[in-house]
A and B are shown apart, each in its own frame.
Chain A
Amino acid sequence: MSDAPDRAALDELARCREEIERIDDQLVTLLARRMALGKKTGELKRLANLPILDPTREAAVIRRVSEVAREAGLPSEPIREVFWQIVGMSRRAQEVE
């Protein structure tokens, strides 16, 4: 392998990174929307006199996304981990009144 970097490959790498950043922005925007909805469900649970922690619902959310991930050709284990984090974040936001 020569030491000189391939110019075209470097340009393409920079473009890919820009695209990744745009997708990350969208992911964060979507997460913010998800969190806002989570907070709203927290308020509704309080009005309906339901507990904030709902393991049955959390388990159903995780099962559903692992199916969706598999259909999309993604490995479901890491996607489950990511969604346990998201579900946990949403639960903590709901717990704060």
Chain B
Amino acid sequence: MIIITRHNVTDAEIDHIRERIESVGMRTHLSRGEHRTIIGCIGDESLLQEVPLRSLPGVESVTPVLKPYKLASREFAVDRTVVRVGGRDAQASFGGPAITVIAGPCSVESHEMLSTTARLVRAAGATMLRGGAYKPRSSPYAFQGLGAEALRILVDVRAETGMPVVTEVMDTRQVDLVAEHSDMLQVGARNMQNFALLAELGRVRRPVLLKRGLSATIKELLMAAEYIMANGNHDVVLCERGIRTYETATRNTLDIAAIPVLKRETHLPVIVDPSHAGGDAALVAPLAFAAIAAGADGLIVEVHPDPECALSDGDQSLAPPAFATMMQQLHAFAAAAGRSISVAAPAPRAVA
């Protein structure tokens, strides 16, 4: 249920409306825009049957939200959400007019490797750095990531380049440690329905990058976002990264339609991972172009200084020159979609 208030509603009227809703044991969420304010009701809606919502002072209209997701639904927010990442020293945002590109290696292999990659992707136009510390590999015998050491490297390279960092968190036990060392926490596709992890991420004050599960529907992705939001963290960025289909020519099938559908269903920003979607470096640029043309708010791209020697996912990693070419071509697609590409702030120290 959402309540749209009158244009001239007072704070006291809003307080009163919320008190009446909360008196039956529900919670409320306020979304204020320039011209209108929405009060979202969260909880068992049958409890509201006895409350004469429409006749409360300040109420313009009352609309049921029939979708199972509430906080994530488009109706619950007056404006689209802009998720701000990082602090004054390193910042990025998702969902504003500019498209934000995250780039970096699949996994952090060493300080030198991450630092080199960061400088190169930054020079090419990426404003945020990715790098895996804990890797959810399909095989227990594959490289599992450097763990806490990788987190320390991410912090160092963040300070060197002024790029906020995103890294994956796989386990509830890692949440505090990873939150301390990064600007944004990524939930990988395989953990999209790890509800204990989602609930824990609801309690941290760091934005979450939530990747769509390999076989998850759009509704399931939005319910996963709802889990994080219902636990208190409203800064969620959704990521389409390809789904499993019968097609074997590509690693996954990038669900382009998911972008406009998500934009219709939710106020949360939506970005695309063209690297995992295709599983092939040659497919990254065309999939990235298609994503931006379809309305995505950003990209997350795997770049490795020497893809042949990557410890993980070398096949889908772009070499820095290919990434730079893609970034240049991306401007035309962004302009066609009525957007621009986000520009990096000056580096804290001289960046070669």
Interface of A toward B, CB cutoff 8 Å: 53, 55-56, 58-60, 62-63, 66-67, 70, 76-77, 81, 84
Interface of B is mostly: helix
Chain A residues contacting B22 (CB-CB under 8 Å) are 55, 58-59, 62-63
Determine how close the nearest CB of chain B comes to the CB of A59; give it in whole angstroms.
4
B30–A63 contact, CB under 8 A? no
Say whether B23 contacts A67, CB under 8 Å.
no
When distances are taken between beta carbons in the complex, the residues of chain A under 8 Å from B68 are: none
Give the A-B pair count, Cβ closer than 8 A: 31
Contact residues, B1-31 vs A (CB, 8 A): 11-12, 15-16, 18-25, 27, 30
* Docked pose: A32 CA to B98 CA in angstroms: 48
CB-contact partner of A63 in B18, B25, B27, B232, under 8 A: B18
Q: Whole-angstrom distance between the alpha carbons of A55 and B27 in the complex?
A: 10
Bound Cα distance A63, B21 (Å): 11
Q: Which residues of A contact B19 (CB under 8 A)?
A: 59-60, 62-63
CA distance A31 to B21 in the complex (A): 27
How distant is B303 from chain A, measured CB to nearest CB, in Å? 31
Contact of A59 among B23, B30, B232 (CB under 8 A): B23
Residues of chain A contacted by B23 (CB below 8 angstroms): 55-56, 59-60
If over half of A's interface residues share one DSSP class (helix, strand or loop), that class is named, otherwise mixed; here it is: helix
Closest 4 CB pairs of A and B: A59-B22, A55-B25, A63-B19, A59-B23
CA distance A59 to B47 in the complex (A): 15
- The CA of A8 and the CA of B24, in the complex, are separated in Å by 54
Nearest chain A residue, comparing its CB with the CB of B30: A77
User: Which B residues are CB-close (under 8 A) to A55?
Assistant: 22-25
Interface residues of B in 120-164 (CB under 8 A from A): none
B15 closest partner in A (C-beta): A63
| Min distance, Cβ A66 to any Cβ of chain B, angstroms | 6
Question: CB distance A81 to B232 under 8 Å?
Answer: yes
CA distance A59 to B278 in the complex (A): 51
Q: A59-B20, A63-B16 are in contact. List 10 more A-B contacts (CB 8 A).
A: A56-B23, A59-B21, A59-B22, A60-B23, A63-B15, A63-B19, A66-B15, A70-B11, A77-B30, A84-B27
Residues of A within 8 A of B232 (CB): 81
8 contacts between A and B (CB under 8 A): A58-B22, A59-B19, A59-B20, A59-B22, A62-B18, A63-B16, A77-B30, A84-B27
Residues of B within 8 A of A53 (CB): 25
CA–CA, A41 and B12, complex, Å: 28
A53 to B25, alpha carbons, bound, how many Å?
A: 9
Residues of B within 8 A of A56 (CB): 23
Residue of A nearest to B21 (CB): A59
Whole-angstrom distance from the CB of A65 to the nearest CB of chain B?
10
A95 to B202 Cα, complex, angstroms: 25
Q: How far is the CB of A78 from chain B (nearest CB, A)?
A: 11
Cα(A67)–Cα(B19), bound, Å: 12
